[in-house]
Structure 1
Amino acid sequence: MLASMVSLLRLRRSTTILLALTLSVVTFVLLANPLSPVADSAGISLSVQSTGAGPRYPLCSNQTSANVTWPSQSWRAAAESKYGGLLEDKFTIAMSTFHRPRELHRTLTALLAAKIPSLHEIVIIWNNFDEKTPDPFVSQHGVPVRYRKPTRDSLNEKLWPDPEYRTQAILLSDDDVYYRPDDLEFVFQMWRKFGKDRMTGALARCATALPSGDWDYNFCSQKAHQDVYSMVLTNLAFTHIAFLDYYFSDDPAVTKIREYVDEAFNCEDIGLNFVMSMLTGSGPLLVRGSSQYINLDPSGGISRQTGHMQARSKCLNVFAEAFQCMPLVNETGRIEHGVKHNVWYKSVWNRIHG
């Protein structure tokens, strides 16, 4: 009886050891071949996704291809040569509008009610093609306001380097968002000191490399060690007119970007960020006022459409393909007006009382 029990225990031990060895071999094979598909009992292929693969189009800073001009050491010299005669201590607001008279009136009223020392002119890009262009006028503080109707319905038209611009600094904006006047002057002065070779503005966005190799457009992470941004949106951002000039150049990559913007009716702001970083090797600059910027947040904008974030991600990948690399540069710092921290509750207060 005892002998039988000992034999049984030995058999169980041998079986356990054999099973452990088998599992070890299987585990080793799987670890050695992480991309190999594993079939389940129903015959469905369960792909084990690799997290070690880099983006399909890596950062331009890692490339040495002859068709990549990142970074261009001569950008400042070229900009000065062509646009040095324009006013450096003043700025122009280029504001796009499309059938939002209430928002346009409120934004213009706020910007023209107070004297903004460095504001030279406001140009309204009038996309109401079925309406007569309003007459130009001059505000009580002497700021000219004129309306320009584009020749075609294209988001690229907002970025057109209007030959009538008289300033190097152009504040690109939409009719539903604006800095308060005191903050706007501050942001412009920060652009002059720190941001001439950057997109400088209020709303930051991110491009993140996914395990699939694609780039993902997102609102940026607040997690530790991930607090970066690589784009500033052109619904409230200063840019040098030279960037607008290059955006409308015959560079093949930039031409493809403009064509895709027309096709998708989206992403002109992403395209301009690509151009800026490609030319300078710099990322954007986030600048916040002492008060939260005003966002009237109408319900009918492009950003409210279903699938907007996915469409923006596609733009990132189409544009990276055009350049054969990703020119966007992550930044971590920002500038804020004053010593009082601009906290979240101001946004709520402004939405209620602004």
Structure 2
Amino acid sequence: MLIHYHRRRYLFFILILICLLLFYKYTRIKTYFLTDEHRIYTSLLIELPHLERLIRAKQSNLSSIQNRLIKVEKYLTKYTWHLKRLIKTIHYNEQEQKKISYFNSFDFDLEKNLQKNQTKFLVYFHLINISNDIDYHSLYKFYKKISNIQNSYITLNKTEAYLHVIYLPIRSNKFNICYKDVIDRKYFVLYEFINYTGEDIDEKCFHGNFLPVKFFTQFNNTNINNDRWRLNDTQQLSIGIIYLNTNATISAYEYNQLNNKYHIATECFYPSCSQIISNKNLSLISIICSSSSYSILIQNQFYELFFYLLSQQIHVITLNCEHYLPYSKVIDWSHPSASYSWLYTIYFQTFERRFHTTIAYLRTHFRLPTLPKSSNFVEIKNQLTKENNFYYLIHPRNLNFTQMPIGLMDKISFQSNKKTSIQIEPTFYDQWNRLYQPFYRSEVLTNPFEIPSSNEKYTIIILTHKKRFYQLNRLLLHLNGLINVHRILVLFNQIDKIEKSENLSLKDFLDDYYIYLPSIHVEIIYIFNLTNNLNNRFLAWNEFIQTDCILSLDDDSFLRHDEIEYAFRIWLENRSRLIGFISRSHNLTTLEYDASSSSSCSYSMILTGAAFLHRWYLDYYTNIMSEQIREYIQMNINCEDIAMNFLISYLTKQSPIKIGHRETFHCYKCEESLSNKITHYKQRTECIKYFSNIYRLIPLRYSVHRLDHLLNISSCFS
């Protein structure tokens, strides 16, 4: 029984073992068939968190890339806009270059050109009797006037003339003479219709070397009315429209342009409306021309009307008249730095200027450079020397160490830094439209808009007279030791009548003061003018000035050396501006002169009694600015500083810059001064009104920008 029991237990264990073996085998077989799928699912389950993190990271990167792409798209849009604008600018410049390419051809040394080509532009005028149509009264008047004009391009020797010219003042064309057939082709013909009555003109008879001019008719200048309209008035202005060879239907677009800006007071057709315009007393007239082909008849009508309106101080707006504007091939009438009235003043206001302009145009037409002004001036040191209208004395420098500031000796250069005389002929475009000097080459070799040269210095010009000798002496000794000063010019305006005219000495000009003339570390040139004229302050003095920078001082303008040197450094960075210490302003509405602006933030003028400016403005003031302004200053003995502010602001379209917070200079022991007169400020108000009517606008610009020489920052304390 026991044996049977043990057998059963062994059998049970064997069965269990068999079951385990079968189960193991079964599981092995099943595992064998599911291994790949199981492995895939298992690996996926294991890698799923890692893949999720990777996907999230990729999504974050994609979002960042998307944001960057959006920014790149914005930048591309911005740069595309700038690129289109640049392309438009380049296209515009190309068009402008094409427009001026006719006369913008060379930029070279004049002397080399003359040596190479042996060519000088000299003109000989022939007097020829060819028909009964010629107005001989105007012809003889013309030759009489040019005989009194000094022009280096006119010659009386036929053989040396480069160009032979005939002037034809045509009274009428009723005989239908074809001047092209009766005048030899070797002559260049200037023709002008005098009192033209409207006969038909054969255009072919004026082809070739024929140039329409306007010398005599419609140039009766009237007295300037101070109540005339100014360009910067804010109210809507009344305008008259004159249609020239066109009508209102064809010119509807131009009419709408004017109607949006102005109140149209009257419309008429040339020439019937001249009297209507005069009766309306308008200060603004628009001339609308036909856009059809060029016509000599319309050219003559346009000249008559255009010059008449400008001579009457009437502001002119032209539409579709580009081809009829005088000398439009060389004068850029649309140039932003000029206006019709300004160009008229420079080129056409007087017979002499009209004649010089014509000669300059002919010279440009034949592509020849200007001739330099002839000067045989030689400096004579330490001796009173007579020139045409002044005497001068050059005092040599004297190293007076007792007057020099301590610590500046190592910075002072006592060597004369005279510039090398490199005379570059400006391009034709620059001569006519940037420098406004097509008549001659200025001895000022640079202008305020050019790149400055190295090692700059400045020349001081002091205006004084004998009665202020004490002030002058103090000022000159005070200026001793200035670091960057090159020379000092002292201008004595002669006010005492001198009986003898020859063998003058210093005592004749200064009495016994002459023995006290000081000498300092630079040369002092004492100039004695034979006329008392405030315009002498801004004479170019090319005989003595060798620097671009000018420091204009009154004899009572005492500035510290550090102030002067700081202002000079500011000028070097702003060469085209007027840099000074005493400011003034004007009322834009009433045009009243405001002396209280020296203590306020806003100003529009700098007094030239203590100011830096470029020497180019001196040449411009004397030779190109309106002669009416200089005559007004000479007659009223005032306002030369306002005239210079007008000139610089007009040419640069910029405001002056004030240094520091000075309000005025106090003149010690001064017996008399212009500013002390009761009528001084009223007279300066009248000057502003007069000058504004000459310019036909107020060029002065307001500024609140002041530079503190101690802090070297912009500051203003009102």
Q: Which residue of 1 aligns with 2:566?
A: 186
Deviation at 1:79, TM superposition (A): 9.0
Tell me, in whole angstroms, the C-alpha distance in 2 between the residues paired with 1:317 and 1:330: 17
Q: Which residue of 2 aligns with 1:117?
A: 483
**1:9-24 to 2 correspondence within 5 Å?**
none
CA contact (8 A) 2:586 2:592 kept: yes
Tell me, in whole angstroms, the C-alpha distance in 1 between the residues paired with 2:231 and 2:712: 39
Q: Give a deviation string over 1:195-218, Cα, whole Å, max 9, x none.
A: x111111110001123xxx41101
Tell me, in whole angstroms, the C-alpha distance in 2 between the residues paired with 1:128 and 1:150: 6
Q: Which residue of 1 aligns with 2:594?
A: 218
Q: Which residue of 2 aligns with 1:171?
A: 551
CA separation of 1:87 and 1:144: change in aligned 2, threshold 3 A:
farther
Question: 1:215 is aligned with what amino acid?
Answer: L
1:268 and 2:640 matched:
yes
Q: Which residue of 1 aligns with 2:666?
A: 295
Question: 1:82 is aligned with what amino acid?
Answer: L
Q: Give a deviation string over 1:94-137, Cα, whole Å, max 9, x none.
A: 0011211221111111111xx21101111100124544265898
1:92 and 2:463 matched:
no
Deviation at 1:64, TM superposition (A): 8.2
Q: Which residue of 1 aligns with 2:615?
A: 241
For 2:483, what is the secondary structure of its paired residue? coil
Query: 145-154 vs 124-133, which deviates more?
Result: 124-133
1:305 and 2:677 matched:
yes
Question: 1:316 is aligned with what amino acid?
Answer: I
Q: Which residue of 2 aligns with 1:82?
A: 445
Query: 293-302 vs 331-340, which deviates more?
Result: 293-302
Tell me, in whole angstroms, the C-alpha distance in 1 between the residues paired with 2:444 and 2:471: 38
Calculate percent identity across the aligned residue pairs: 26
Deviation at 1:343, TM superposition (A): 11
How many residues of Structure 1 are paired with residues of Structure 2 in the alignment? 277
Structure number having the greater strand percentage: 1
Tell me, in whole angstroms, the C-alpha distance in 1 between the residues paired with 2:338 and 2:493: 41
Question: 1:74 is aligned with what amino acid?
Answer: R
CA contact (8 A) 1:180 1:294 kept: no
Q: Which residue of 1 aligns with 2:340?
A: 66
Q: Which residue of 1 aligns with 2:509?
A: 132
Question: 1:199 is aligned with what amino acid?
Answer: L
For 2:569, what is the secondary structure of its paired residue? helix
CA contact (8 A) 2:462 2:552 kept: yes
Q: Give a deviation string over 1:281-320, Cα, whole Å, max 9, x none.
A: 111110128x998532535101101111000000000000
Tell me, in whole angstroms, the C-alpha distance in 2 between the residues paired with 1:293 and 1:244: 24
Tell me, in whole angstroms, the C-alpha distance in 2 between the residues paired with 1:200 and 1:79: 24
CA separation of 1:301 and 1:137: change in aligned 2, threshold 3 A:
closer
> TM-score, normalised to structure 1's length?
0.68
Q: Specify every segment of 5 or more residues in structure 1 that has no aligned partner in the other structure, as ranges.
A: 1-53, 345-354
Question: 1:217 is aligned with what amino acid?
Answer: Y
- The higher relative CO (CA closer than 8 Å, separation ≥ 6) is in 1
> TM-score, normalised to structure 2's length?
0.35
Tell me, in whole angstroms, the C-alpha distance in 2 between the residues paired with 1:168 and 1:340: 24
Q: Which residue of 2 aligns with 1:25?
A: none
CA contact (8 A) 1:94 1:171 kept: yes
Deviation at 1:330, TM superposition (A): 0.9
Q: Give a deviation string over 1:229-278, Cα, whole Å, max 9, x none.
A: 11100111111011111111244xx2111010011110000001111011
| Rg larger for | 2
Q: Which residue of 2 aligns with 1:106?
A: 474
